[in-house]
Amino acid sequence: MLFALAAVLAPAVARADPPAMKERARHPRLEVRSRDDRFSLALGGFLQARYAASARDRDVEQSEFTTPRTRLYFFGHVHSPDVRYRLMVGTPVSAQQAQVLDAYVEYKIARALRLRGGRFKIPVMREWVEGAAFLASVERSTIVQLLLPGRDYGLMLSGEIADVEYAVGVFNGAGVNAVRESNRTPALAARVVWNLHGVPIDGEVDFEGSAPRIAVGASAMTTSRPLDSSVPGVQVREELGGVEVAFRAHGFDVTAEAMARTRTVEGRRDRVVGGYIRADQYIPAWKASLGARAVRIHGVDEAAVSRTEVELDGGIYPAQHDLKLVMNVGRARLHAARAWDTYLMVQVQAGF
């Protein structure tokens, strides 16, 4: 932690883990290169610590300290700057045992075509593809946590054509996350984003006071897997899709996503739809931001997952996302329980 804090407080402001894994656009703090620049190795990471509490009818239901995420990653290039690699180990959300999260190699054939193979995020939903370290509220919205596909082994093509970014890949399965085990049946996923002003929107806080820019996109995934090894022949078909729009101008950010997931088993469907909208205003004089987020989850075939949330957050950024303190206060209505929960989170993040 002392080493990480020392790196954070250094004069440089480069980040080692940019959003969407665009390391080629950054200059990491901790890096070694060969004299001919054919080989490089960079080191980065971050740690999050959190206190969270929730209450219903004035009764405290949760009160705990956790470390939601720890990450240590190595990346660089081999033989040529166009052949990049990444290895990331860390603890999944609130887990204690470290795992290999990312392990891939990417070859840039041209600006319009990159080939990636290994283990990495399945490219569906903006808030999932965005690195957790660069979220204004530190944690992803509830609807994204519920539906996100996770990481898996696969092969992906991506690139930029004019002002459009795309990614399309085939994976071992629908990915591994907190509530789903990986499977070995293929999953297809794709995402496309049009940057209307030719400049992408990375991260969720506009520290630079950018000129106006807009991005719109869509993503989808489909897969089929066995229901249970003890029930041969019964398949679960899963389809996930979403649309997104993001706006940034002069320190102000707004992002909205709408998404839907359908699982079908022998003609029976389980559908979940919903979305979120968030807005953040960065205040340079205070090195701080103020934000708000609203979330709606509707279980079309399962009312128990239906939920509505409203949340306010405030953050202090002494070293941008490399050192920040964020407080979130919100109310969540659980529709099946006909009750409102009040929750509070205080989170600190240090990175290098």
Domain assignment of residue 150, given as a range: 2-351
Domain count, the chain: 1
Q: What is the per-residue pLDDT across 189-220, written as a single tens digit (0 to 9) for each? A: 999 999 999 999 988 999 999 999 999 999 99
pLDDT for position 304: 86
How many whole angstroms separate alpha carbon 136 and alpha carbon 139? Answer: 8
Is pLDDT at 7 greater than 50 in this prediction?
no
pTM of the model: 0.86
- Which domain CATH number covers 57? 2.40.160.10
Q: Which of 156, 135, 157 is nearest to 202 (CA)?
A: 135
List CB contacts of 233: < 8 A, sequence separation 6 or more. none
- pLDDT tens, position by position, 118-138: 999 999 999 999 888 889 988
Contact 323, 351 (CB under 8 A): yes
Residue 125 CA to residue 131 CA, distance in Å, equals 12
Which has the higher per-residue pLDDT, 173 or 305? 305
Closest Cα partner for 211 from 236, 247, 158? 247
Q: Look-up: residue for tokens 């080191």? A: 43
Reported as half-sphere exposure (CB side, CA atoms, 13 A), residue 136 has a value of 28
Between 267 and 139, the higher pLDDT residue: 139
* pLDDT, tens digit (0-9, with 9 covering 90-100), for 307-329: 999 999 999 999 998 899 999 99
> Confidence band (pLDDT; 50, 70, 90) for 291?
very high
